[in-house]
Every structure is written in C-alpha cells, then in structure tokens.
Amino acid sequence: MKALIVSDIHANLVALEAVFAAAPPHDAVWNIGDTIGYGPRPRECLDLLVDRFANPALVGNHDLACIGDVDLTEFNPVAQIASRWTALQLGMDHRAYLKALPAMTTANGYTLAHGSPRAPVWEYITSAAIATDNFPFFDTDVCLIGHTHIAMYAALREGQTTAEIHPLRDGETLDLLQARYIVNPGSVGQPRDRDPRAAYAILDTDCGTLTAHRIPYEIALTQRQMALANLPDVLVARLAHGM
C-alpha cells in the first residue's frame, strides 16, 4: 500500500493541488494536520481532502484554534488575525469534520501525531534531544509528525540511547526497517526550511520505505489570494522565502 503523506497544508489550495497533480500513484492519503489557518482557501482545502478520502486525518493546533477549541492567546498576533479570518470562512460541516479528528492515531502499523507523540497538539520536535525523549511515547517503529514545517527525520538505532536528527531532502528515500524513526515530511502550504516548494512524502508500507518530495507551485497566486483576503503581509511574504 502506498500512502501520500501531507501535513501543514494551511489553506494553501494552490500548493495542495500541485501536490496531488505531482504525486506518484497512491492508494491512500494521510493528513497529519493543520489543514487550515494562515492561508486563503480553508474551505476548499478541507473539501478537497474529503473528496480524496484522506484517512487517517489529524487535527492540528491551528485547526483547533479556527474552530474555537484552543485559546487564541497561545498564538502570535498575525496567527490570531489569520485564525479569526479563517473561523469566519468555515461552514458547520467543516467545523464538524475538524472536531471529529484526533491529534494522534495509528494506521497500518504506523503512528501519526501532529506535533509529537508525547504532546500531539503543541510539542515541536526541533532537536535530537526532544526526539529522543519522544521515542518511548509510541509503540510502533515509525511515527509520522508535522507541526514544525521542516522536513526531517530522527533515527534511533538499535543499541543506541540517543536519536540522531537529519534534514529530509527532496528525493531522499528512508529504509524504515533500519531503525526506529520519527519522520516529518515537511509542510505542503507554508514550508519553513528555506525551500519554498511544497513538501510531501510517499510511504510504501509493503517495502517499509518513505520517499520525500518537493514540488514547485505558483506561490504568487496564493499570495494574491491572501492579499485579497487582507491576510497579514508578513504571512504573504514568508511563502516566497520558505521561512
């Protein structure tokens, strides 16, 4: 079974459509959360994922903020503005859809958590130390995460007590049978690893491999949509820099 792994779409429909157009054939879509917030097309992104039968799908901190399930004071001022704007765009069906999603689950012997297995909504896995601390918090060999918007993997090899952490590059394939892994495919709609291209991954559950991909999309189009929605300039500008 091949699963297309997407995370942190953040209502960037142009990027999401580019990912679906470029992705190699797959049997399932797995969504690690933060489908909305920041970007200009929240309804359309949710509808497209429902059409594509994304399952499992997780809820992220921004999704929860947009449906009023976390306190907006946890967010920086521009994220608050974007969350309030997004909340006004959603229909009852979008709210109900997001409200029913977990922040962590398992599928086909893989764990999925939006932030981390230890604290699925909020924790950022940004270092080898934090990754090491998280390995006891899931039972499978591999945990897929999002939240930092940085494509990376942490590997805990047999006999070692601390994990190593590496960037996950475009075209790189991980042999998931070699160690225990925490893998972040990167962000579809707002990458922050200085590569502005949309990030996604293909997980092959038969071979136990995960391949990372980056795909260019029309960033200027998303930026125009954001400007027309009066979303904050700093959020518009960052897309071009992948930061």
Contact 177, 140 (CB under 8 A): no
Tell me the closest approach of the beta carbon of residue 96 to Zn ion, in angstroms: 21
> What are the two backbone dihedrals, phi and then psi, of residue 121, each rounded to the nearest 5 degrees?
-85, -40
Tell me the closest approach of the beta carbon of residue 209 to Zn ion, in angstroms: 25
**Where on the chain is the footprint of Zn ion (CB under 5 A)?**
8, 34
Contact 182, 137 (CB under 8 A): no
Contacts of 101 (CB under 8 A, 6+ apart): 33, 57, 58, 59, 63
Question: Between 30 and 205, whose beta carbon lies closer to Zn ion?
Answer: 30
Q: How far apart are CA 169 and CA 165, in angstroms?
A: 13
> What element of type H or E holds 197?
none
Tell me the closest approach of the beta carbon of residue 190 to Zn ion, in angstroms: 7
> What are the two backbone dihedrals, phi and then psi, of residue 192, each rounded to the nearest 5 degrees?
-125, 20
Tell me the closest approach of the beta carbon of residue 147 to Zn ion, in angstroms: 6
Question: Between 111 and 187, whose beta carbon lies closer to Zn ion?
Answer: 187
Report which residue's Cβ sits closest to Zn ion.
Answer: 34
Question: Between 196 and 205, whose beta carbon lies closer to Zn ion?
Answer: 196
Q: How far apart are CA 230 and CA 227, in angstroms?
A: 5
Question: Between 177 and 237, whose beta carbon lies closer to Zn ion?
Answer: 237
> How would you list the strands of the sheet with 164-167, edge to edge?
104-107, 110-113, 142-144, 180-184, 152-156, 164-167
Question: Between 20 and 75, whose beta carbon lies closer to Zn ion?
Answer: 75
Residue 45, both tokens: 């992104």
Question: Between 40 and 179, whose beta carbon lies closer to Zn ion?
Answer: 40
Question: Between 34 and 195, whose beta carbon lies closer to Zn ion?
Answer: 34
In terms of Cβ atoms closer than 10 Å to its own Cβ (0-12, 13-18, 19+), residue 124 is middle
Q: How far apart are CA 119 and CA 133, in angstroms?
A: 11
